[in-house]
Structure 1
Amino acid sequence: MSDLSITSSTKWMIVAIAAVIWFSLLGYRDLMEPDEGRYAEIPREMVATGDWTTPRLNDLKYFEKPVFQYWMTAVSFSLFGESNATARLWVALISFLGALWVMFVAGRLWGEAAGFYAFLVSISGLLYVAMGHIITLDMTVSVFLGIGVGALLIAQSDRNNPTQVRNWMLLGWAALGIATLTKGLIGLVLPGAAIVLYSLWMRDWALWKHLHLGKGLLLFLLVTAPWFIAVSLANPEFPEFFFIHEHFDRYTSTVHMRDKPWWYFLAILLLGAVPWISAVTKNLFKPGFSWLPSKTALFDPIRFLWVFVVFIFVFFSMGSSQLPAYLLPMFPALSLMIGKTLADNPRLGPEIWLMPVVGLVFLVAAWQIDLVATSALPAELLHTYRPWWLAATGLMFGGFWLVRHFGAAGPKAITALALTALLSVQLLSWGYQTLSSSRSSRALAEQIRPYVDAGAPVYTVETYPQSLPFYLGKPVQLAIMRSELDMGIRQEPEKWIPSFAAFKSRWLQDEQAIAVFDAESFSRFNLDEMPMKIIYRDPRKLAVIRR
């Protein structure tokens, strides 16, 4: 492998090392609330009920997102049992496969060096690594969008081979179908808009002739339509809620209360790109191509990737619902662009000096961690997280020395930077387990399990700890709390206790029962006439048993 100055076996050994770091201690950290608890419980209920058509959360209909990732996690549970590790297995697996796909696409388009560097960038960016180990739907949709876009790049880069164009485009259409079956219409809107804007900018009308629109849309519908039709027939309320409330209302209004200041996504982009901030800004603002349309009729993958990335950023910045992971689909495309840049000039610039800066930030965070303490996240709990920050600090400074030792250029230096960044993020992720009592309900579930196994019902009063049903292996009885379960409650109101008076009546009728309260709001309730004893308390919640 002369263009990399390392052997093929060395390259694959580095990939294997990255895989070991990526998949290590996958189940060590308890499921974080709310997201990981929610996206583990829905597939658990699919396996338990045998209903793989209608998603349910806490035994209530839950139509905020489509079903593909739920299916994959349910398969993981069916094959390997229910645990922290099997709940995260699909996300970790698809994210690493996404990095390998990036390596394949870049290698196919620009050579082996570009592929290897694109892989290293992909598995070391802060946002991509973090989201590759947190159960949300964003990684799955990002990878399949990346597969769709990558297949298009390969297909359009050699239009003289009709069979190749057709096969790659059909793969791309199938991938966009799975993206849509994971998180909705963005699976088609984002790449579709990029195609329109790119063809207008570059006047590449031939692109439309090679999309295989007829076969592609048919395949897209074959992937997506069966479930959408089945769930709509079983639940007539689904289309209006999913397509209007979860798409139009979410984007155009603050119904989900996720609006942020104008600079929010810019900060997320720069933070999520660590340690590749310089390379990302260079590829976005000085991408190395003319802004005028090309005089040739050839497809330009870099221009298309640039359009795709910029459109995602602008599209979500204009929306009224903003979360960090919304930008995740940008990062596989950015990895492709940076991989080519490094293949053309494999010399690290500001990236190497960012390493000690990040190390200093970690050091300050370790010693000033009390500043973020709250009643729900007390200082004494945060102190247990400090050694992990210090370990990450040492690793960043050690990685800085190693990159300098390799001359800050070439595959060895870039590998050292990438693996250092990957391991640093993983250290902080593993260390987050020290905050489990505040961020998860596993300890609560273990404390109350003997009573639950004896038949005691579990009420959650004006709160819903999202991971509690997963760790108990059964839904809980909601009281007063509605939140994101409002639609499901409206469909099946008998599964909800609407008032404290109704809860009190149920409590007094039970011979034995458990109730979980938010720790801060517990004192607001008038519990004088209700026989109970506190059996569990952590910074966020407490549990009582009926005496």
Structure 2
Amino acid sequence: MRPSNSRPNSTSLWFAIVIALVIASLLAGLGMRSPQPPDEPRFVLAARHMVETGQWLLPHRGSELYAEKPPTFMWIQAGTYKLLGSWNLSFLVPSLLAALLTLWLTWDMSRRLWNRQVARYAVLGLFVCIQFGLMAKRAQIDMVLLGMTTLALWGLMRHLLLGPNWAALALAAFAAGVGTVTKGVGFLPLLILLPWLAWRWRHPQAPGPGRSWAWWLLLPAFIAGTAVWLGPLAIALLKNPDPGLQAYAHELLFKQTGTRYANAWHHTQPAWYYLQVMVTLWLPGSLLLPWLLPAWWRRCRRADPRYLLLLGWALLVLLFFSASPGKREVYILPMLPALAVAAAPLLPGLLRRTGVRWVLLVYVLVLAVATLAVGYGAVHGDGWAQRNAAKRAIDLWVLPRVGWWLIGFGAATLVLAIVLRLRRVGLAVVLTTVLLWSMYGLGAMPALDPYSSASLVMDKVRERIGPDAELGMVAWREQNLLQTAPQATDFGFKRPVGEQWEDAARWVTQAPARRWLFVLDAAMSPCADKAQVIDIGSANRNNWQLLPGTALDAECIARTHGVVPSGNTAVEDNTD
């Protein structure tokens, strides 16, 4: 026996158990819900169109081209579906895999820069931050982007501080290119070259990559990454003079990138907006900032390149997004792994401080008490719970089901706090987060899914019109179209409602006895017979109506050009 090795082996075993719980919590609920707005249904619609039509280059939202985002993320979803054969299972897999990749990259980067103990703190520190888990459980582009930016950062740090490693540099540039055609800001990891150049200028004799022709690998590798999508698009533009294709490329490459950044038309926020995002969505990590900031400052003053590069890059990313008038909380997510790596060497010392332990214990207790209170209110149907359920057209019988999951989470979290107490409060935070995402995936989201995904109201539509009827949609939302099978006929998404009504009237008159229209109540045409309009239900705070084809006056639509006084504008797309 070798007693000296017992403690490291025990630590490794416990860490492996905790990591297994982390992975299980991220997997929890996979396949148990449908895509939910605002972003998930539109991406799955585009991916489903690719699979059904075999046309993968240009994503579609219904009958229209979807020009707000490149198709890379939708390609991954469609490819996952081809492997798994279930949309409810496959649409979340890309985010899950990207989250696991990010955790491993965070581990490996920390291990190489410091040691295995630091790597353990880094990966668990990243996991417990609320925004990371939330995005891992959502099918949005941002988690896949995070995987690409972290991969690029990992390669750059290996080359700049542990190199030269020209293969890692090329991989980093390629990942940044793929990230750029996944979501336009994928190039951001390359900004780390600026703090590195400043450090090299002050420390020219420090080991690391110097002048070499191999630096030119950056440009072709980055271009190769972007060519994953821009290459096929360029070929299509050269071969096809279709003005629609030209307009698609122009909107995506210019309006949805440069114009969105410099002159955003929605999600406008003040310059300090991201400070509140960090304080709230980065809990509980943000609670340690009063201790982390001075410690980081001292290490930067000592010119430790690991901190200078990680923190300098994070600051550049924060300034980049703060300079744009358009801001959303997910934009600064790429900073989080870098900050977790920078915080990890300090966490063992911080967790020995009584003040830090009390702050984290209070966080666990507040989370437990808050969920217990909300769960109790949901089970007993208090006024607050009922009002919020009514706003979202949620049946009151669902509230106790959600409430008991919340109560279970709160009670289990209280037990953790009592058993682990101050001495092991770090472990309590990790296990609380495991419980949180398990409850979220297995309980809360499946219970609310029929209402959030609009599947309940679309089930009512199918039951009302019968299996032999055909359905058309006016002023629709992506989740409604996604929940139709076979897919309903639409008349455009961003088109003015009046134009949609004109096309809908022509479609209905071809077979009025078996064709129906699904319409947003505010967009119902005055040319419809109000006596035959059916209120079919509410979903996502919208009220929906059914109109039989025989109840629509097509001549009235033609005469008025389909104008609807309260719904004469196109649906605004707020995806990011």
- TM-score in terms of structure 1 length: 0.84
Aligned to 1:427: 439
User: CA, structure 1 residues 529+504, in 2 after alignment: closer, same or farther (shift >3 Å)?
Assistant: farther
Partner Cα separation in structure 2 for residue 65 and residue 251 of structure 1: 14
Match of 1:6 among 10, 22, 26: 10
User: CA, structure 1 residues 281+497, in 2 after alignment: closer, same or farther (shift >3 Å)?
Assistant: farther
Partner Cα separation in structure 1 for residue 222 and residue 543 of structure 2: 45
Question: Structure 1 residue 537: deviation in Å?
Answer: 5.1
* Preserved CA contact (<8 Å) 2:47 2:75: yes
Match of 2:476 among 449, 455, 463: 463
> What does the per-residue CA deviation read over 1:446-467, in whole Å, with 9 as the maximum and x for residues that have no partner?
3444788956433222232x12
* Preserved CA contact (<8 Å) 1:99 1:119: yes
Partner Cα separation in structure 1 for residue 104 and residue 213 of structure 2: 24
Partner Cα separation in structure 2 for residue 155 and residue 415 of structure 1: 34
Count of matched residue pairs: 518
Question: Structure 1 residue 311: deviation in Å?
Answer: 1.9
Where do 1:126-165 residues align within 5 Å?
A: 126-159=130-163, 162=164, 165=165
User: CA, structure 1 residues 203+395, in 2 after alignment: closer, same or farther (shift >3 Å)?
Assistant: farther
Aligned to 1:304: 309
User: CA, structure 1 residues 324+227, in 2 after alignment: closer, same or farther (shift >3 Å)?
Assistant: same
Aligned to 1:492: none
Question: Structure 1 residue 141: deviation in Å?
Answer: 0.7
SS of the residue corresponding to residue 268 of structure 2 reads coil
Partner Cα separation in structure 1 for residue 393 and residue 312 of structure 2: 42
Match of 1:100 among 95, 101, 104: 104
Question: Structure 1 residue 402: deviation in Å?
Answer: 3.5
Question: Structure 1 residue 202: deviation in Å?
Answer: 6.2
Where do 1:38-53 residues align within 5 Å?
A: 38-53=42-57
Q: Which moved more, 1:442-451 or 1:216-225?
A: 442-451
Match of 1:440 among 429, 453, 457: 453
Where do 1:453-532 residues align within 5 Å?
A: 454=467, 456-464=469-477, 466-473=478-485, 475-479=487-491, 481-482=493-494, 498-500=499-501, 502-509=503-510, 510-519=512-521, 521=522, 525=526, 527-528=528-529, 531=532
Aligned to 1:249: 259
SS of the residue corresponding to residue 52 of structure 1 reads coil
> What does the per-residue CA deviation read over 1:453-507, in whole Å, with 9 as the maximum and x for residues that have no partner?
956433222232x12333335554345751xxx6xx9xxxxxx971545534543
Question: Residue type matched to 1:194 in 2?
Answer: I
Aligned to 2:223: 221
Question: Residue type matched to 1:513 in 2?
Answer: R
Q: Which moved more, 1:470-479 or 1:455-464?
A: 470-479
* Preserved CA contact (<8 Å) 1:369 1:386: no
Partner Cα separation in structure 2 for residue 378 and residue 537 of structure 1: 9
Question: Residue type matched to 2:179 in 1?
Answer: A
SS of the residue corresponding to residue 34 of structure 2 reads coil
SS of the residue corresponding to residue 542 of structure 1 reads strand
* Preserved CA contact (<8 Å) 2:520 2:544: yes
SS of the residue corresponding to residue 460 of structure 1 reads strand
Question: Structure 1 residue 208: deviation in Å?
Answer: 6.8
User: CA, structure 1 residues 283+174, in 2 after alignment: closer, same or farther (shift >3 Å)?
Assistant: farther
Question: Structure 1 residue 285: deviation in Å?
Answer: 5.4
User: CA, structure 1 residues 498+365, in 2 after alignment: closer, same or farther (shift >3 Å)?
Assistant: same
SS of the residue corresponding to residue 274 of structure 1 reads coil
Aligned to 2:337: 332
Partner Cα separation in structure 2 for residue 8 and residue 210 of structure 1: 41
Aligned to 2:279: 270
Partner Cα separation in structure 1 for residue 464 and residue 212 of structure 2: 63
* Preserved CA contact (<8 Å) 1:169 1:211: no
* Preserved CA contact (<8 Å) 1:202 1:293: no
Question: Structure 1 residue 334: deviation in Å?
Answer: 1.7
Match of 2:360 among 337, 345, 351: 351
* Preserved CA contact (<8 Å) 1:250 1:321: yes
Partner Cα separation in structure 2 for residue 9 and residue 418 of structure 1: 16
Partner Cα separation in structure 1 for residue 114 and residue 99 of structure 2: 22
Structure of greater Rg: 2
Aligned to 1:177: 177
Partner Cα separation in structure 2 for residue 284 and residue 210 of structure 1: 36
Q: Which has the higher contact order (CA 8 A, sep 6+)?
A: 1
Partner Cα separation in structure 2 for residue 44 and residue 337 of structure 1: 41
Aligned to 1:84: 88
* Preserved CA contact (<8 Å) 1:507 1:530: no
Aligned to 1:59: 63
Aligned to 2:296: 287
Q: Which moved more, 1:210-219 or 1:41-50?
A: 210-219
> What does the per-residue CA deviation read over 1:97-138, in whole Å, with 9 as the maximum and x for residues that have no partner?
211221121112211111111111222211000100111100
Question: Structure 1 residue 388: deviation in Å?
Answer: 3.2
Aligned to 2:328: 323
Question: Structure 1 residue 508: deviation in Å?
Answer: 4.4
Q: Which moved more, 1:467-476 or 1:444-453?
A: 444-453
Partner Cα separation in structure 1 for residue 114 and residue 394 of structure 2: 51
Q: CA RMSD in A?
A: 3.2
Q: Which moved more, 1:258-267 or 1:196-205?
A: 196-205
* Preserved CA contact (<8 Å) 2:50 2:78: yes
Question: Structure 1 residue 78: deviation in Å?
Answer: 0.4
Aligned to 2:416: 399
Aligned to 1:342: 347
SS of the residue corresponding to residue 514 of structure 1 reads strand
Question: Residue type matched to 1:223 in 2?
Answer: G
SS of the residue corresponding to residue 322 of structure 1 reads coil
